Structure 1
Amino acid sequence: MKRILSSRLAIAAFAISASASFAWGQADTLRIAVINPFSGPLALYGDEVARGYQIAIDEANAKGGVAGRKIELLRGDASSPPQGIAAVEKLASQDKVEVFTGTYISAVSNAASDAALRYNRIYWDTNALAGDLTERGLPNFVRSGPYASSFAEVSATATKELLAPALKKDLKDTKVWIEHEDSIFGSSIAQLQKESLEKMGAKVVGLGAHNFRAIDLTDSILRAKATEPDVWIETGYVPDGSLLLRTMRDQGFKPPAIVMVATGDTFETLDAVGAEFLEGITVVGYPRPDQTEAYGPGAAAFLAAYRKKYDRDPIAPQGMTAYVGMQMLIEAIAAAGGTDMEKVRAAAAKMDKPLRSYATGFGAKFNANFQNTRAFPTVVQWQSGKVATVYPKDAAQPNVRLVNLPRK
């Protein structure tokens, strides 16, 4: 009887020990989840954002991780707000994720970050652009990358300082059409573009909206064509941007300058309309590794790390912005000593790095809504089937010049 009792006690002790060991093993790994589209038409960009995160995580883990813990990246597939909510609930409750990040689609970020708050989890966004995301004042939300206001500011400033001079026009004589997809992402940028351009003195001759899932955008192009703009600016996703360009070509609409905002600088656009039509088109987008090291210290190192890990060049520029955003998140977790939502936000509030501190050219300084005020897009131009950074001037390589403006 004593032997049986001793045996049972030993088994119980082993079970407790094993359970404790398992729990310790889980606690020893910091799980961060990325909420992005990993299936469907936008999966290419969700994957690219995750690749950027993984490179930053690999760098951190090679140095021992953060706050004494190695980092593991999990994925939550979400192309719509309901999918974003479901992904967060599953990852937080079942997979014990402590931190959430993303996001390629602003509407998904909006819903997923709210769901993360119900679990008291920080949501550190690196790529979503809608202004509403920070303006909500959500107590778990931080955005490290650029947003609607910065994209609108750069597109307006580039029109004044880069495009109007190339067209040999004074800005007050420059007619601008603004087109945008109609979600919170495109709408917020377009409205700010209109306000900024009009304040600078440009003539905004129209503001058009469309659904990025539309299969025919002829009306959008014909409305713009009728106003004969000098500059046509469009904010959207890849499918609608490519469709608009094809329709523009088919309808013989040839504005002297074309500006794509947030997308339009990847092989998908090149495949959709060809190098000849793209020649001279500019894109206000996420910073790219081809910029100078003086502007983005570490851009060349990111490119080398990407090529080594994935055996190819980056698919889209969103990856480097995600990489830098993850670096900032890891810095905040280290300063906070863990992943407590309030402590991470407090650590972020104390960050103070000047512009040109990261590979993207970003600095780090968060305002009261936890929007990084030192994160800006750059401007690239399609030249001979490739894109080259052309603005700001200190980001452009010395041998890069504007081409085909006005467009032939």
Structure 2
Amino acid sequence: MKLTRRQFGGLAAGAALIAATRGSFAQGGPIKIGAVNPYSGAMAQYGDEVTRCYELAAEWVNGQGGLLGRQAQMVRGNATSAQEGIAAIEQLVGRDKVDILAGTYVTAISNAASESALNYGKLYWETNALARDLTDRGLPNFVRSGPSSNEFASRAVEGALKVVAARLNKQPKDLKAWVEHEDSAYGTSIALEQQRLLKEAGVNFGVGSHSARAIDVTDSILRAKNTAPDIWISTAYVVDTNLLLRAARDQGFKPAAMMLCGVGDTTETLEALGKDYLEGILLVSYPRPDVSEKYGPGAGAFLKLYRDKHGRDPIAPQGMNAFVGMKILFEAIKAAGSVDYETIVKAAAAMDKPLGAYETGYGAKFDAKMQNTRALPVVAQWQGGLVKAVYPAEAAAEGVSVVNVPRA
């Protein structure tokens, strides 16, 4: 039986463990936020990047006077799997005495960790995990400040229709698409929504799936190639994305447009495929510091903060999204006047900030399931070995426009 937010809240309020942990921390010390992310293994550099930007946001708010008269402090909890996510929560709450939990780069980890956080009566503030199921559960301690899989899916279809179809001079009914996805909750949730929207628009499409752990994805590429699509849209993780692109190159699969959702926009893919092959590949991506200041006011200031702290540019777009997500959390804490999860959720639910209020171009307006409805990805593109936002038009920096569609 699916429990409602109210029922979840009743269970949480009645747990003896919550009574033992809530309100047990000294009010004069820092507000501790446990950052649940993979800091080892294949996804470590992205988990590190998300948390680096949490830490950057904490330094920023501390420089503004902190939170409720206290300093914000990030505490890392390593989790490379769902089971480790549960263990990380137990350690962060039991040993490190954190007040709030946040994360994460991986949907499966977020799913398990947030349920564990509820057992301890703690807020789980999600910035980066995408699957719509995370908010659809109705967990009363769960808030997502960034986009969900639905926003990534809708932006992908919007890009296919308003960028690709327009460049090919085709109507939606004449456009052929292939939807490829890895088969976990992350890839599946995005692909299902893409299919719904493509069907609604009258686009002809085929669908394929693969395991993110696959070591050979040639069959996936050949299935797509046999349908001769105008656009190939893929949702995957970094390793399998690079495998898919290599297989496409090796098999001579070259549709007029290729689009990668949520991935493929970092130096790891650039080093794997090279800038010449990537030229013109479209990306549905978190907004990054290249967006125009009109679209994302303060994006340049974020980039300076990051460079000053780390001596280089951000390694992934997940970072600025995490920075903004943490800023929204800090605003909710200030409005709540408390670290109690129910009070913070109530304060977040009352937020009403327009698009363009943050560095990513986001606003803040949460629906009944505590999904931020004003957090939208952009369509970007590989151009000359760099990733540049190209859609919506107001997100593109001056002089930037779509190139190499159809692909040469």
Q: TM-score range by the shorter chain?
A: over 0.9
- In 2, the alpha carbon distance for the partners of 1:27 and 1:277 equals 55
Question: 1:157-204: per-residue Cα shift (whole Å, max 9, x none)?
Answer: 111111111122211101000000111000000000010011011111
Structure 1 outlier segments of 4+, above 2 Å: 23-27
Which residue in 2 is equivalent to 1:229?
Answer: 229
Which residue in 1 is equivalent to 2:400?
Answer: 400
Question: 1:234-292: per-residue Cα shift (whole Å, max 9, x none)?
Answer: 00110010100000000111111000000011100001111111011000010010111
Q: Structure 2: which 5+ runs fail to align?
A: 1-23
Deviates more, 1:25-34 or 1:60-69: 25-34
Which residue in 2 is equivalent to 1:93?
Answer: 94
Question: 1:289-324: per-residue Cα shift (whole Å, max 9, x none)?
Answer: 011111001100000000000000000010000000
Which residue in 1 is equivalent to 2:48?
Answer: 47
- In 1, the alpha carbon distance for the partners of 2:119 and 2:256 equals 50
1:141 equivalent in alignment to 2:142:
yes
Which residue in 1 is equivalent to 2:161?
Answer: 160
Relative distance call for 1:281 and 1:93 in structure 2 (3 A) is: same
**CA-CA distance at 1:398 after TM superposition:** 2.5
Q: TM-score, normalised by structure 1?
A: 0.93
SS in structure 2 at match of 1:306: helix
Larger radius of gyration: 1
Relative distance call for 1:383 and 1:275 in structure 2 (3 A) is: same
Matches within 5 A, 1:6-405: 27-204=28-205, 206-405=206-405
Which residue in 1 is equivalent to 2:3?
Answer: none
SS in structure 2 at match of 1:322: helix
- In 2, the alpha carbon distance for the partners of 1:26 and 1:82 equals 31
- Equivalent AA in structure 2 for residue 349 of structure 1: A
Q: TM-score, normalised by structure 2?
A: 0.93
Which residue in 2 is equivalent to 1:16?
Answer: none
Which residue in 2 is equivalent to 1:17?
Answer: none
- In 2, the alpha carbon distance for the partners of 1:70 and 1:387 equals 35
- In 2, the alpha carbon distance for the partners of 1:158 and 1:306 equals 29
- In 2, the alpha carbon distance for the partners of 1:49 and 1:190 equals 24
Asked if the contact 2:25–2:97 (Cα under 8 Å) also holds between the matched residues in 1, the reply is no
**CA-CA distance at 1:24 after TM superposition:** 7.8
- In 1, the alpha carbon distance for the partners of 2:104 and 2:363 equals 20
Asked if the contact 2:150–2:190 (Cα under 8 Å) also holds between the matched residues in 1, the reply is yes
**CA-CA distance at 1:141 after TM superposition:** 0.1
- In 1, the alpha carbon distance for the partners of 2:163 and 2:131 equals 25
- In 2, the alpha carbon distance for the partners of 1:77 and 1:178 equals 33
- In 2, the alpha carbon distance for the partners of 1:24 and 1:102 equals 22
SS in structure 1 at match of 2:77: strand
**CA-CA distance at 1:25 after TM superposition:** 6.5
- In 2, the alpha carbon distance for the partners of 1:200 and 1:355 equals 26
Which residue in 2 is equivalent to 1:8?
Answer: none
- In 2, the alpha carbon distance for the partners of 1:392 and 1:24 equals 46
- In 1, the alpha carbon distance for the partners of 2:63 and 2:354 equals 26
Relative distance call for 1:253 and 1:197 in structure 2 (3 A) is: same
Asked if the contact 2:354–2:374 (Cα under 8 Å) also holds between the matched residues in 1, the reply is yes
RMSD: 1.1
Instruction: Give percent identity, aligned residues only.
Output: 55
- Equivalent AA in structure 1 for residue 379 of structure 2: V
Q: Structure 1: which 5+ runs fail to align?
A: 1-22
**CA-CA distance at 1:220 after TM superposition:** 0.5
- In 2, the alpha carbon distance for the partners of 1:259 and 1:366 equals 29
